Every structure is written in structure tokens, then in C-alpha cells.
Amino acid sequence: MAELLRVNDLVTQFKTESGLVKAVDGVSYYIDEQEIIGLVGESGCGKSVSQLSIMQLISAPGEIAGGEVIFEGQNLLKYEANGPQMRSVRGAKIAMIFQEPMTSLNPVLTISQQLTEMLQLHMKMNDDTARKRAIELMSMVGIPGAENRIDDYPHHFSGGMRQRVMIAMGLSCNPKILIADEPTTALDVTTQAQLLELMKDMVQRFRTSLIIVTHNLGVVARYAQRIYIMYAGRIVESGTTKDIFANPHHPYTIGLLKCIPRLDEEEGTKLVPIQGLPPNLINMPSTCAFLPRCSYRLEKCAREPWPPLTPVNGNHYISCYANTKEKSK
Amino acid sequence: MTTYIIRRLIIALIILIIVSLIVFFAIRLLPGDPLIIFLGQQATQGGISQAELEHLRELYGLNDPIMVQYGNWFWGILHGDLGTSLYYHEDVGVLMGDRFPLTLHLGALAFIINIVVGVLMGVAAAIRRGTWIDSVTTTLANIGVCIPVFWLAILMIYLFGLKLSWLPIAGYTSPFKDFWLNTQQIVMPVFCMAITMMATTARLSRSSMLEVTRQDYIRTAWSKGLRERNIIMRHALKNGLIPVITLLGIGLGMVFAGSVFVETIFAIPGVGRLLVTSIFAQDYVVIQSGTLVIATIIILSNLLVDISYGWLDPRIRYG
Amino acid sequence: MTEKDITAEEFQEAPPRVNEWRRFLRVFLQRKIVIFGLIVLFLLVFSAIFANLLAPYDPFRGILADSLEAPSGKYLLGTDIQGRDTLSRLIFGTRTALMVGFVTVGIAGVVGVTLGLIAGYFGGIPSMIIMRIMDALMGFPMLILAMLFAAVLGGGIQNVVIALSIATVPGYARVMNGLTMSIKENDYIMAEQAMGSSNSRVMLRHVLPNAVPPMIVLVTLQLGGIIMAEAALSFLGIGIKPPGAAWGAMVNDGYRYLSSNPTLSFAPGIAIMLVVFAFNMVGDGLRDALDPRLRGIL
């Protein structure tokens, strides 16, 4: 499958009163057609900001300070932030759904209005066609009685239902890429599972690529083909899902996996949390950000700048100096 | 929606009754013989005999228990009997009826200018936050809130009336008799009233719009590729103007408050001026009834505001 | 290759400790306009306290021979019909303004906070009664309400204060009611009640202190309005009358002589504006420093 989107060395920073926060500090990744990738990391690691940057949805005091986003042969970052070219990409070519279904829909507009406006804008449909298509979409995402509910307001729907509406909105104009920013974090476990299955079905149906941004490794384990692990604004490990789960190399990934209870573990095995606290992103030092929490650290790690992404085998890259496979800790 | 309206209506009625109680009893809390107060200057001059006083006491119902007096008074109000002015010796209803159109004329114009300019300024400042538009608007609004309306009136009279002689400084002739003169006469009073209201409106619209533009659903709208004008008009405004509707309720109050000064200074015989002269004349009948009428109007308009909240914000209809 | 173990402690970067007081001051003093407001307020209080020393002439008794002088070297802002120096009257006017302002806020504060606290804490019938009465009072524009009560009670500074207090109480009660209701939802309140603390203890020691910051902001923001209302009342002739030095009354006095001595009306008006502006700016600054989230509400 051809490559669809490539992000090179994206840097997004925020000027705060305490200092400069490099929320995204040189992030590179790519996604192919009809692929599902996962972007995993803890809160504050920059994963959401990186996706908002692609769509140029960053506003003051944040700014995109460097890098390129190559999509359909063009660098999206070269477009004026809210200009006509960027706007023709948003929603129509790259769509996004957000974390908070309760607040991401406009409370004073009906679902019909919020769905049809995209169809009318990007697909140039007239009122009737747009409405019919909107009802179709709502049925597709599993909202019963769509024809009657389409004129309801967001507060008539539960969180899970609203998220389904967001999915319908996201896919309504057949985008090439759908970015799902922590789509299920705010929902209960059962709904989470349903929604993820739905998303997988829909993107397969629409032949859309999907970027799932989450802090939950379990979510990407099942659905993503490749995973990027982020820490403190950078990618520290990347590879196919199988590879990463079977053969994690970066100390952070190893730590993450040790935190997750597994069905196939021996009884009595302890969960090992990662020691230390998440880093303060203000005025970060140039050395590896994971250093304070790392049990594999070398003397080298304190001297050298943040290690570049190097391949360990095939498509599996890590950003680490230590050889974690030699030690068994 | 209907239950919402009915509930609001009942609350408004309760409030009206409380207001009438306050108005009625406030005056009777005054020290001294209420009859003397009611008769004003005449009685205290000693021109009336004891017997006549007793007769009048009966006539005014002042020997009845206080609740009966209240009841009678309230009953009278409901039938449109607002009492007879002690100072003007006319039916209060007629007095107010004569003056209302004038105050309404000035107030309505001031109100419209206030809403149009105020909201525009506030919204413009919000969507162009941080630019010169924002700074200028905010500064003007902040200063505007501090300008005493009576002082502004005097300033305008000095400038446009005395120094430049552009506009007449007092009086009100009916627009039906002389439209041009009337227009000249009302320019300054209307602007005085409008400017102080505008400042508050601009501040509120600005802060409200700013709140709205920070919301998640606005971010969603941007991510859908909509253009800014569309996002402001369709998505932001409807949410952002909800608090501004409150201003419609407050605005009416500000109109009455402003009219008190503006009408006094520009010698316009409206409701505000009536209230002031009555206060100085100790004409308690007018004060009582006039206050009740003004309060009723304000409460009814607040009711309308509440109802329009329900219409604008679908979440409230079921709350 | 041997690795020297580096302890985590050496590289632990703790988040920077934020001193609450410093942060407050920094945000509060951030905008120049707030500092301007503070300076004006300082001058205001200074003038009020040291009016005797600052005023060049007696503000209450003038020299008739010097009546209606234009601003000059002798009388910086001119004199009124009785020959009283405008500048001195302005300076003494600060006393009136501040006194009325603070006493009103004091009375209205105590009454309003108490009412709002009771209504918000107990809910039910007390709340309904109290809040409905407050709603009824709020139905009136503050100025008209104050005017009516001042008229009914008679003029004079005492009655003005009472009238203004009555007009201000509903606003405080309402905000306090809302604050109490939301503070009450907090778990620590329920914990206190579960421990058996009496209602008054919970209200006074837990709810009230948490409501203090927003109430301070509200009070500061309203002080300007109260001073303006007092000026309006004395302009109308209800309230403080000459020879008392009140800015509103001065504007009224000066109106008669507008063509010959405009300063008589303009100067006190500018004083009113400055003071109200200062209180508003400082109030804004306080609110931003205490909790910017209040920006929508207060």
C-alpha cells in the first residue's frame, strides 16, 4: 500500500510564563493507505499535540516551530493555518475525532445540522441528499432509529452514542485518514470495546487509514498494525505491533508492558510500576528524558544528547543507548 | 417547554407579590402618622380640624388593620386604580400614561444602539483577541463603565449645547408635531443613556464570546474544515449570546435608571422625572404605584429573558 | 563495558515549587493598568486620611469675595458660588466617597454573606424565601432602589449608606448562595458533616473561608458602582448636600454655572471616574490573580 502521510521532525512548542515547553520535539512517523497505527504514551507526552499540529489546529501560545507534514505531495505546514487550502484538507482528506464526547459537539445545534454542514461544504450536497446521507451514516455507526433521532440535540445522547456521531462525522466525507485522539478514554470499558470494533469496521469499509492516539497499550494491541511509543515529546520506539509486544527494546516500553496484567502470567507475579515521575517539560535538558526513571541507564546516557532512532531489526526502531536485551532486569 | 414557561411565570408572580409587599410596607415604616404623611404639607400647616382629620382617616381606610389596607390597595391596583397623586392631584395612571411614551421613545432608541454597537464591539474584540481592535474596545469599554451618566449629560450639554450650539439642551416636543426638532432634542439624551449601557454590553459580549471560542466544540468545528465566518456565526454566536440575553433584562433596568438623570437634566417629562419630582414632593402615592409599575415591567421583561433562554439553549428546556 | 550506576536522585528533576503568594503577586501586578489603579487607590486613601493637611483651604466655608473664580494660581480649580475652593472640596470628597463605600460594603457584606450562606447551605424553604426576596429586590435597578429607600428614609449620609446597603445586599446574597451551593458539593464538607460537626461549625470554618476569595473580588468590583451610586444620589439632591463635600453634589452645584465655570462640574466628575476606574481595574486584577476561571461569572 502506498504511503499516505509522512511527518518529518515535527516540532511544536508552547511559550509559557515559566519557560518553553517543547510538547513535540522532533517527531517523525508515517502511515500507509488503509493502515491502522497507534500512537501510545502517557498524559502530557505530546501525542495529542502532534496530531493537532498536523491539522494546524494549534493556537497561541502554542506554535509549530519546525518540521514538515507531507500529504499528497504537499507540505501541509506550508499552508496558511486557516486558509482555503488547509480547510479543504480538514474534514475532507484528514478528519479527527476527539476525546471528550460530552463537549466536542455543539450543544445548541442539532445532530443533523452538525452532520450535514460537512457534507454540504466538502461534498457539495444539497439539503435533501445531505440529510439522507447523514441518516445513512448514523445507521452505519449503529445509532438505532436514526431517522427520528437526527433532529435531536447532543444532550439527548449518551457518551457512547455521541462518540458514534463523531465517528460518523469524521468519516462522512470519506477522508483518507481518520485521527482518533483518545476516542474511548472517557467511556466505560464495554462501550470502549464496542466503539473500537466499530471504528475498525468503518475504516475498513471506507478504506480509510486510522491513527489511534491512546495511553492504553491494550487498545492498540488488538487493532493497530504498527505502533509508535512516545515519551516527553519524542518517539522512543516504533515497530509492528507483534514485534513491540514480543520484543520490546526501549526501557520505557518494557516498563509499560510490565505494568499491564496479563492472562498468561503466573499467579503471584507482581506488577512493576515505572519508578519516578513523568518529566517536567519546561526547559528540558538535551539528554535522554527517560534517564531519571531508567533501570538500564549507562554513563553514556548522561553525557550524550537524546539518542537518535536506530533500527534493531527490520522496521523496529528504538531511541536508546543501552542494550536492554543483554541485561535481564 | 410549556412547563418551563409556566414555572417561570409562577415565580415571576410570586416575586411581583413580594415586591408589592415591600413597596407597600416600606412607606408605612416611616415614623409618624401616616395620615399626616399622606396629606403632606397641608395637614401639618394646621389648616384642617381634628374632626376633618378623623373623617379623612376613615376615608383613606387608615383605621383598618394593615393587611386589609394592603388588600384594598392591591385590589385597586389590579383594577387599574393606581391612586391619586398628592402633588399633581391627578390619577396616577393618567400621569404615568402621559409620560411613558417619552421614556419609551428615548429608552428604546438607546437600547437598540446599545445592543447593536455593544455586541458588535464585544464580539469583534473576542474574535480578534490580542489585536488592536481588542485593546481599543476593551479600554473604551472599561472607561465607559466608569462614566457617570449625569456627568456625561452635562459634558454634552456644555459641548454641543453651549459651546457649539448644535443641539437644544432641554425639552421634548412630540415627534408627530415637529420631527426634526424632536430628533435634535433627543440626540444627546439617547446617547448619554446608550453609552453607559454599551460599555457593559461590550464587556459581557466579549468575555462570553471568549469563553465560547475556547470550547471543545469550536475545535471540532475547525477540524471539520469550516471557515471562520461560518464558525463564528453558526457555532459560536448562538452559544455566546446566551449570557448577552441577560443584558436585555438588565438593560431595561439601566434604561429606567438612566432616564431618571437624563430626563431631569434635559427637562424631559418622562417617567424618570416623575419619580424624582415625586420623591422631592413626598408624593407617596406616586412613589408607591410608580415603583410597582416599573418593577412589574422589569420583572415581566426578565420573564421574557428567561423564556428566550429556553428557546436559545435546548439544554435548559428540560432542566 | 562496565557501567557506573548513576543514582536516580542526581537526575531527578522535581517540578519547580510554586510559592502561592509570589504567584499571586506576579499575576496581580502583571498588567500596568492594575498598577495604575493601585496608585490611584493609594492616593485616594492617602487624601482621605490626610485631607486636613493636603487641602489648601477650608472646604466647607468659603470667602464670598472670591466667589466663582476661574482656575488660577491661587485656586487651582477655581471656586464655587460661596467662594469655596474646588480642589479642597475634591480632596475632602474622598472621605465621603470612601466612607460611604466601605461602610456600605461592610454592612451589605455581612448581611448579604450571611443570607447567602444560610440560603445556600440549608436549601429548601429558607433558601426559597430568602432568594425570592433577593430576586424581588434585584428586579429594581440598583440606583432606583437606592433612590427609593433614601427618599423614604430621608437624606443625609446615614440614610444613603442604609439605602445603598439594601440595594447591594441582593447581589452579594446571590453570589454567596451560588458559591455555598457549589462548595457544599465538595467531599470534605460531607466528611465534616459525617464526623458530626455542627452546621454552624461547617459553615463558618469550611464553607465561608473558601468563599472569601471570590467575595473579595466581587466587593472590589462593586465598590466602584457604589461610589458612583452615591454620587448619583447626591447629584439628585438625595443624600449628602452642601456644605458637605460630596462629588455628586458638586457636579449638581456646578451645573448652574456651566457656561461661566465649567470646572465646577467637570472636576468632580473626573474624580468619580478615576476612582471607579481604579476600583474596577484592581478588582479585575484580583480576580485574574485569584482564579481566572471566574472571568465569566464575576
Q: Please report how many Cα atoms fall inside a 13 Å half-sphere around the Cα of residue B31, on the Cβ side.
A: 2
Subunits with 3+ Cβ pairs within 8 Å of A are B, C
Residues B189 and B149: their CA atoms lie apart, in Å, by 10
Give the pLDDT confidence of B184-236 residue by residue, as tens digits: 888 888 999 999 889 988 988 888 888 888 888 999 999 998 888 888 888 88
- For the beta carbon of residue B154, count every other beta carbon within 10 angstroms: 25
Number of A/B CB contacts below 8 angstroms equals 75
In the predicted model, what is the mean pLDDT of chain A?
Answer: 86
Tell whether A124 lies on the interface with B, counting CB pairs under 8 A: no
Tell whether B154 lies on the interface with C, counting CB pairs under 8 A: yes
- pLDDT of C7 strictly over 50: no
- For the beta carbon of residue A292, count every other beta carbon within 10 angstroms: 20
Averaged pLDDT, C270-285 = 91
- Give the amino acid at B80: G
Question: Mutating which of A280, A290, A323 best tests the C interface, going by the most C Cβ atoms within 10 A?
Answer: A280
Residues C181 and C177: their CA atoms lie apart, in Å, by 6
Ranking A79-88, A279-288, B63-72, C49-58 by mean pLDDT, the lowest is B63-72
Averaged pLDDT, C213-221 = 86
- pLDDT of B99 strictly over 80: yes
pLDDT band, residue C8 (cuts 50/70/90): very low
Residue B66 counted as domain residue: yes
User: What is the domain count for chain B?
Assistant: 2
Q: Is residue B128 helix, strand or coil?
A: coil
Residue B85 counted as domain residue: no
Contact A98 B219 (CB under 8 A): yes
Whether residue B122 is found in the same domain as residue B206: yes
The pLDDT of residue A31: 92
Cα dihedral: A27, A31, A36, A42 (round 10): 0
Give the pLDDT confidence of A95-135 residue by residue, as tens digits: 999 988 888 998 888 999 999 998 998 888 888 999 999 99
Give the pLDDT confidence of A213-238 residue by residue, as tens digits: 998 888 888 899 999 999 888 898 99
Whether residue B179 is found in the same domain as residue B297: yes
Please give the residue that has the higher pLDDT: either B91 or C95.
Answer: C95
Q: Which of A279, A299, A302 sits opposite C13 (nearest CB)?
A: A279
Whether residue B107 is found in the same domain as residue B16: no
The pLDDT of residue C272: 92
Instruction: Work out the burial of residue C271: count CB atoms within 10 Å of its CB; fewer than 13 is exposed, 13-18 middle, 19 or more buried.
Output: buried
Instruction: Give the cell for residue A164.
Output: 458514534
Residue B33 counted as domain residue: yes
Residues A169 and A138: their CA atoms lie apart, in Å, by 9
Residue B167 counted as domain residue: yes
Contact A302 C11 (CB under 8 A): yes
pLDDT band, residue B316 (cuts 50/70/90): low
- pLDDT of C297 strictly over 60: no
Whether residue B71 is found in the same domain as residue B138: no
pTM of the predicted model, to two decimals?
0.79
Q: What is the DSSP letter of C79?
A: B
- Give the amino acid at B40: G
CA-closest candidate to residue C110, choices C177, C43, C174, C169: C169
Residue B318 counted as domain residue: no
Choose one of B13, B46, B78: the last residue of a domain.
Answer: B78
Task: State how far residue A26 is from chain B, nearest Cα, in angstroms.
Answer: 23
Residues B141 and A3: their CA atoms lie apart, in Å, by 54
Q: Is residue C70 helix, strand or coil?
A: coil
Whether residue B180 is found in the same domain as residue B220: yes
Averaged pLDDT, A139-156 = 88
pLDDT band, residue C4 (cuts 50/70/90): very low
Q: Report the percent of chain A where pLDDT is more than 70.
A: 98
Q: Which residues contact A11 (CB under 8 A, 6 or more apart)?
A: A22, A24, A25, A26, A27, A64, A65, A66, A67
Task: State how far residue A183 is from chain C, nearest Cα, in angstroms.
Answer: 27
Q: DSSP of A189-215, one letter per residue?
A: HHHHHHHHHHHHHHHHHHT-EEEEEES
Q: Which helix (H) or strand (E) holds A59?
A: none
Contact A109 B238 (CB under 8 A): yes
Distance of CA C189 to the CA centre of its chain: 30
Q: Report the percent of chain C where pLDDT is more than 90.
A: 13
- pLDDT of B115 strictly over 50: yes
Q: Is residue C222 helix, strand or coil?
A: helix
Residues B132 and B128: their CA atoms lie apart, in Å, by 8
Whether residue B69 is found in the same domain as residue B137: no
> Which residues from chain B sit within 8 angstroms of residue C255, using beta carbons?
154, 265
Averaged pLDDT, C143-160 = 78
Instruction: Read off φ and ψ for residue C153, nearest 5 degrees.
Output: -85, -20
Instruction: Give the cell for residue A261.
Output: 496484567
Contact A82 B225 (CB under 8 A): no
Question: Mutating which of C11, C25, C29, C288 best tests the A interface, going by the most A Cβ atoms within 10 A?
Answer: C11
Choose one of B23, B44, B78: the last residue of a domain.
Answer: B78
Q: Which of C4, C5, C13 sits opposite A292 (nearest CB)?
A: C13
Q: Hunting for cell 485656586 — which residue is that?
A: C75
Whether residue B275 is found in the same domain as residue B164: yes
Instruction: Read off φ and ψ for residue B110, nearest 5 degrees.
Output: -60, -40
The CATH number covering residue B125 comes to 1.10.3720.10
> Which residues from chain A sit within 8 angstroms of residue C13, using beta carbons?
279-280, 285, 292
- pLDDT of A37 strictly over 90: yes
Subunits with 3+ Cβ pairs within 8 Å of C are A, B
Instruction: Give the cell for residue A225.
Output: 498494525
> Which residues from chain C sit within 8 angstroms of residue B291, using beta carbons?
140, 144, 148
Q: A316-318 and A234-240 as β-strands: parallel, antiparallel, unpaired?
A: antiparallel
Residues B166 and B85: their CA atoms lie apart, in Å, by 38
In the predicted model, what is the mean pLDDT of chain C?
Answer: 82
Residue B297 counted as domain residue: yes
A64, A77 contact by CB (below 8 A): yes
Whether residue B112 is found in the same domain as residue B44: no
> Which residues from chain B sit within 8 angstroms of residue C135, using beta carbons?
11, 15
Whether residue B162 is found in the same domain as residue B267: yes
B146, C270 contact by CB (below 8 A): no
- pLDDT of C135 strictly over 50: yes
- pLDDT of B314 strictly over 50: yes
Whether residue B196 is found in the same domain as residue B265: yes
Contact C3 A299 (CB under 8 A): yes
Whether residue B238 is found in the same domain as residue B269: yes
The pLDDT of residue C1: 34
Q: Which residues contact A213 (CB under 8 A, 6 or more apart)?
A: A38, A39, A47, A48, A51, A179, A180, A181, A182
Contact B224 A82 (CB under 8 A): no
The pLDDT of residue A10: 92
Averaged pLDDT, A279-302 = 80
CA-closest candidate to residue B279, choices C239, C245, C139: C239
Residue B91 counted as domain residue: no
CA-closest candidate to residue C268, choices C241, C235, C222: C235
Residue B88 counted as domain residue: no
Residues C165 and C163: their CA atoms lie apart, in Å, by 5
Chain A residues with a Cβ under 8 Å from any Cβ in chain C: 18, 275-277, 279-280, 282, 285, 291-293, 297-299, 302
Please give the residue that has the higher pLDDT: either B125 or B86.
Answer: B125
Whether residue B65 is found in the same domain as residue B180: no
CA-closest candidate to residue A310, choices A237, A219, A254: A237
Averaged pLDDT, C23-29 = 82
Domain that holds residue B18: 2-78
Averaged pLDDT, A162-182 = 91
